[in-house]
Structure 1
Amino acid sequence: MTLAAQPAPAVGLEHALAGLVAAASPPQGTSSGAWRWQVHRRMGAVRDALVAEVGGQSEAWLAARGGTTSRERGTLLARLGTTGAHVLADGDAPVVRRELDRLLVDLGRHVQRLHDLAYDEVELELGGSD
């Protein structure tokens, strides 16, 4: 893979995640129903960004980590579906908030793993610091 052809990993996911983080902290006075709908819409954008991720690494030493991020992506997609249903239907707002906060942390870790993979691949292409 050449450097020019390499996609910017997680840029769309980062943008979608930032929107979800903003929606997860509603301004005072926002109705619960409006907050739930906004969070659910932002979760859809995150789901779309996860689905659009380019999978697989071309280098053998990155293949295992690439496989891990692919499995993690599948898990996150499933959790987005489950959490999205709870956001719209669950009456216990504190429980929904805790579940959403855990999901946001895990999504942030996933984005960081994608960045780490991209960095390692570029470092290999450019020769590293040794």
Structure 2
Amino acid sequence: MSAFIKCQLDNFVSSKTKSNPLIYAYTDPHYPGLLKVGFTARSIPERMAEHYPTKSPAKPPYKIVFTESAMYEDGGTFTDHAVHTALRKKGIPNPDGEWFKCGVEDVRAHGLQVSPARRMGKIATRILPYVRSKKRL
């Protein structure tokens, strides 16, 4: 790969993070039939403490039903926004915010659509016209 193309790729590819970012989904009995799809670069317990900050003697009302890495093979990351977009494009009902009327398999299947190959396709779409224009000079 030429130094020019590598330099251009570096402008579009995020650097590798030292954290372990995750996409997660959970249920809450207050919202039956819905999954909340989120992202965290912290641990799941730390993130859930932000959703449910009030300590209670009772068991937490939520149940984590899905966690998966939010990292590409090259070390870059994606967020829940990409998964939300994929779910909406497939017509999954989204009554509000990050809550979806779907099952775990829907989140898993649509999360996989945010793949390294799609990412490279987006990068190539941005870079190739620029590279082609430079060759004409």
TM norm. shorter chain > 0.5: no
Q: TM-score, normalised by structure 1?
A: 0.35
Q: Quick one: higher RCO (CA 8 Å, sep 6+), 1 or 2?
A: 1
Bigger Rg, structure 1 or 2: 2
Task: Name the structure with the higher helix share.
Answer: 1
Q: TM-score, normalised by structure 2?
A: 0.34
Task: Name the structure with the higher strand share.
Answer: 2
